[in-house]
Amino acid sequence: MIKIELSYRGIIVAGLGIFTLWLLLQLWPVVLLVITSFIFMAALLPYADWLTRHRIPRVAAVLLILIAIVAILAGLFSLVVPAMVDEFRNLRDNLPDYARDLQNLLKNFGIDVDLQDRARNIDWTEVVSGRAAVNYGQRVFFWLVSSFTVIVLTAYLLIEAPNLKKFLYRLVPPARQTDVGLVLQGLDRVVGGYIRGQVITSIIIALYTLIVLLAVGVPNPIAFAVLAGFADIVPLVGAFISVAPASVAAFQESSTQAVIVLALLLLYQQFEDRFLVPRVYGRTLNLPPFVVLIAVLAGGELLGVPGVLLALPATAAGRVGLDFWLERHRLFGSEPLPQDEVFAPDEPVEPEVVR
């Protein structure tokens, strides 16, 4: 026989735990926006603190940073969207001819497929129907509202960061405040460093793509370069996704240009994976490739695209907590938490303690 005894306190704790889990599931879209805002706050906090130390009021410093970021993003989108619309129209109008050229190219490699007839039989009215336009419009509206919410929450977190830390320390016993300070610093450096490192890699792939497309003579090189920078944000497969639009645009000019662009961009993928990424934020994440793959797959399965984007920052944050726990319990000789900021303007400081 198995005899289970529960105290009133245990029943209350279990009930509160179940209720909290149910509440998180019901409010998960809101929780996801808050988590995203905390990640951006960790990335931007060193710059806000740096401006504040240079006698700029904190509110003005935060607004200055966010306005600059929004202006840059708006400018980049204004370059990409019109060019992509033009490329789509060009592809739609000339798809049978492009299919014939691709068909002839594949025949040289012994592959015989009838692409031209398939291209002629595409019903473009179904692809760009009114229902599809409404669905895309709803998604765009949802992303705009979510983006605005994240910007507002990030601004609030950046402005109130010192007060939030003080409030958190008041909830922790005095004996644990130093430990909490170390964990918070580790989270700031690892999560924020990953975001800042990702910005660096996106800028590099955008510049490289721009140089390649300009040299080969592909139309709209700036738009495709910007698109490559955005695609690089997606872990593991983002860099390969960035190859497709530029290669298709090059194929519309000639198959030779397409082969050159494809080869040069694939060559860059090897450079980024083997040399650039380990040196830009490999030390920040310090995660085995297998763990990165599992984290990305799990994030995509659970949350879709947002889960893929948040998988690595969340996993890196979990590693900070695990390393701290292992170090405190002297298990497995864990590595110390990082003590330097990655691509951040400020210098390391001692963990704060509120007494």
pLDDT of residue 353: 47
Mean pLDDT, range 152-163, rounded to an integer: 90
CA–CA distance, 288 with 293 (Å, rounded to integer)? 9
Higher pLDDT, 345 or 90: 90
User: Is residue 346 situated within a structural domain?
Assistant: no
Q: Sort residue 29 into left (φ over 0), alpha (ψ -120 to 50) or beta.
A: alpha
Q: In this structure, what token pair is assigned to residue 320?
A: 């900070």
User: Is residue 268 situated within a structural domain?
Assistant: yes
User: Is residue 350 situated within a structural domain?
Assistant: no
Q: What is the mean pLDDT of the chain?
A: 77
pLDDT band at 354 (very low <50, low <70, confident <90, very high): very low
CA–CA distance, 17 with 27 (Å, rounded to integer)? 15
Contacts of 312 (CB under 8 A, 6+ apart): 194, 235, 285, 287, 292, 295, 296
pLDDT in tens, 201-213: 888 889 999 999 9
Q: Which residue has the tokens 């401006």?
A: 51
Determine the structural domain holding residue 267 and report its residue range: 8-328
Mean pLDDT, range 213-234, rounded to an integer: 87
Count how many domains the chain has.
Answer: 1
User: Is residue 354 situated within a structural domain?
Assistant: no
User: Is residue 345 situated within a structural domain?
Assistant: no
pLDDT in tens, 103-146: 777 777 777 677 666 767 766 665 555 565 566 677 777 878 88
pLDDT in tens, 287-346: 666 777 777 777 777 777 677 777 777 777 777 777 777 777 665 444 554 555 555 665
Contacts of 343 (CB under 8 A, 6+ apart): 193, 196, 197, 199, 200
- Ranked by mean pLDDT, the top range of 11-20, 70-79, 188-197 is 70-79
User: Is residue 22 situated within a structural domain?
Assistant: yes
pLDDT at 92 over 80: no
pLDDT in tens, 255-270: 788 889 989 998 888 8
CA–CA distance, 269 with 337 (Å, rounded to integer)? 30
- Residue-by-residue DSSP string for 82-125: HHHHHHHHHHHHHHHHHHHHHHHHHHTTT----HHHHHHT--HH
User: Is residue 271 situated within a structural domain?
Assistant: yes
Q: Which of 353, 349, 354, 337 is nearest to 49 (CA)?
A: 349
Contacts of 276 (CB under 8 A, 6+ apart): 201, 204
User: Is residue 355 situated within a structural domain?
Assistant: no
pLDDT band at 71 (very low <50, low <70, confident <90, very high): very high
Q: Which residue has the tokens 């490289």?
A: 208
Q: Which of 351, 303, 72, 354 is nearest to 189 (CA)?
A: 351
- For residue 297, the SS3 value is helix
Helix ranges (H only) for the chain are 8-26, 28-53, 58-107, 115-120, 124-127, 130-159, 161-170, 177-216, 221-231, 238-241, 243-251, 255-271, 277, 283-285, 289-303, 305-328
Contacts of 158 (CB under 8 A, 6+ apart): 41, 44, 45, 48, 58, 62, 65
CA–CA distance, 250 with 261 (Å, rounded to integer)? 7
* The model scores a pTM over 0.75: no
CA-CA-CA-CA torsion for 54, 56, 62, 66, nearest 10 degrees?
-90
pLDDT of residue 61: 92
